[in-house]
Amino acid sequence: MPRSTGNVLAEILAERQRQDAKWGGQDHDPSTWLMVLAEEVGEANQAVLEMLFPTYDKRAAERGPRTLAEYRQELIQVAAVAVAAIESLDRQDQSPG
Ligand SMILES: [Mg+2]
């Protein structure tokens, strides 16, 4: 069932709140944020890889095939980390405009 933009954004907000509850407020430099974001993108890639090739390694074979729902959840995490990076930048960047 298709979800509206508002519903997807609500899921991203809920993930942002979960991240804050887990990690507290995070302020990093841009390069650190990009590494965190890349790690989350990597997890989305891994979900798809293990969906398409469920036996590509022993651990994936033991876990069983991944699903589009898992890929989707990783994308929510990617979006939430991108939002957190923007929030952090806005807190740290006091330059006008
Ligand atoms: Mg993830």
Give the pLDDT confidence of 13-23 residue by residue, as tens digits.
999 999 999 99
Q: Ligand 1 being an ion, which residues bring their Cβ within 5 A of it?
A: 40, 43, 74, 77
Residues contacting residue 3 through CB under 8 Å, at least 6 positions apart: 11
- Reported as a pLDDT band with limits 50, 70 and 90, residue 56 is confident
Q: pTM of the entire structure?
A: 0.89
- Reported as a pLDDT band with limits 50, 70 and 90, residue 65 is confident
Domain extents in the chain: 26-92
**Ligand 1: centre distance to CA 37 (Å):** 9
- For 65, the token pair is 């095939």
pLDDT of amino acid 5: 96
Contact 16, 83 (CB under 8 A): yes
Mean per-residue pLDDT over the chain, rounded: 92
